Amino acid sequence: MNHILYDSHIHLTDIAYDNILSQIFITLRGMRIKACSVTVNISTSLKAIRLFEEYSVQNIIYNFIGIHPQFADEDISKFEEIIKSNLHFINGIGEIGLDPTYYNQEKNNKISQGQVFNKMLSIAETYDMPVSIHSRKSLDEILNVLSTYNLKRVCLHWFDGTPQQLEKSLDMDLYISYGPSLVFSKRKQGLLKLTNQRRVLIETDGPVSFQSCFKNVITLPTSALMSIIRSIAYVLCLCPMTVIDTLEKNSISFFD
């Protein structure tokens, strides 16, 4: 049986990929990989819609669009219009969330981030879309907010919470995503051991690079996913093919 691998979170609209997108798409097809492209603001969302229509990659790319907490000062109503006008090209909402790291003294603050986040969740609920969430330094608040929505498919991208927060997230039936840091991070490996295997997804978060693995190269699903899978297999004492089978089932449940 030929399995399909899934990268649950990658920024394909980042300028780092501009000159190699066509090669990436060819390689994804050849290697039987599907990737979830997430956006961070209005401009990258419009870029995603244009690019994925131009390249006709709906069979290998899940197109998630969203407003990242870094861009909480953007026009929410304009974003909502983009959603309504392009529903046939949009598969989910992300990357969205809360993060006090981006607070400033102008329009990005706790209130504005909360307003944008709630609007993104409301859109996802309205159209029954999966969601990819950024939760750095804000996981407790995010879990509280999520409890007020009827969302069936939510992934905590690049999970970095405590074991207690992980337990609560799993009790809420959220998906937990792990990336390349699983290769070298003992803390991430410890969290993985506590995670219900049926809720695990994997990601690259490309084009982010890592000093501790992959030699600081631009992260690609074609080069990083198997390393993550082998790390999961090693940490959980499982056969890599068992891990691949589980991840494929989880990904289908989340995306499809």
More confident residue, 219 or 146: 146
pLDDT in tens, 87-130: 999 999 999 999 999 999 788 999 999 999 999 999 999 999 99
Q: In this predicted structure, what is the pLDDT of residue 1?
A: 58
Average pLDDT in the chain: 95
The span from the CA of 109 to the CA of 176, in Å, is 27
Tell me what the mean pLDDT of segment 214-219 comes to.
74
Q: How long a stretch of residues is the chain? A: 256
Tokens for 101?
A: 């790291």
pLDDT band at 2, cuts 50/70/90? confident
pLDDT in tens, 20-48: 999 999 999 999 999 999 999 999 999 99
> Going by CATH, does the domain composed of 5-255 fall within 3.20.20.140?
yes
Tokens for 117?
A: 């986040």
pLDDT in tens, 136-159: 999 999 999 999 999 999 999 999
pTM to 2 decimals? 0.96
Order across the sheet with 92-97: list the strands.
5-10, 33-37, 61-65, 92-97, 131-134, 154-156, 175-178, 200-202
More confident residue, 144 or 53: 144
Which residues touch 80 (CB under 8 Å, ≥6 apart)?
A: 119, 123
End-to-end CA distance of the chain: 20
pLDDT in tens, 198-211: 999 999 999 987 76
Q: In this predicted structure, what is the pLDDT of residue 216?
A: 65
| Phi then psi dihedrals of residue 241, to 5 deg | -70, -30
Residue 179 has pLDDT above 90, yes or no: yes
Domain map (residue ranges) of the chain: 5-255
